[in-house]
Amino acid sequence: AQSVTQLDSQVPVFEEAPVELRCNYSSSVSVYLFWYVQYPNQGLQLLLKYLSGSTLVKGINGFEAEFNKSQTSFHLRKPSVHISDTAEYFCAVSRRLTGGGNKLTFGTGTQLKVEL
């Protein structure tokens, strides 16, 4: 079975400050990890993903994440946030399905609130 834990339900941060959103996973099979962002009243948008290779993954909007197998973590970071980064962020672990599909198991999300 796979699971994802996002320990912080809300993270307030001032504009231009750095931020880290934490994600820990549990998986008994090969690990594929994702971060999605959800803006109010919108669908989920992929920020970045780890499938294999380099453990430091860079995504859109200046976000990056580091896969740490020994700590079973995939924390999301941004060195300087903007007001427009205010959104809900979801970490997910993937299991490949019959036929090559992809079943995502999501965490409960972290609400990032950027303040002036």
Which residue has 């594929």 as its token pair? 32
Token output for 90: 């979801």
> Contacting another protein (CB under 8 A), which of 28, 43, 54, 116?
43
> How many binding residues for another protein (CB under 8 A)?
29
In the complex, minimum distance from the CB of residue 104 to another protein, in angstroms, rounded to a whole number:
6
The residue (of 11 and 104) whose beta carbon lies closer to another protein is: 104
111: DSSP letter: E
> Contacting another protein (CB under 8 A), which of 13, 81, 92, 112?
92
Q: Which residues 6+ apart lie within 8 Å of 52 measured at CB?
A: none
- How, if at all, do strands 110-115 and 10-14 pair? parallel
> Contacting another protein (CB under 8 A), which of 1, 54, 101, 116?
101
Rounded to an integer, what distance in angstroms lies between the CA atom of residue 47 and that of residue 89? 9
- Decide if residue 40 touches another protein (CB under 8 A): no
Which residue has 């090559």 as its token pair? 100
**Which residues form the interface with another protein (CB under 8 A)?**
4, 32, 34, 36, 41-46, 49, 51, 90, 92, 94, 96-109
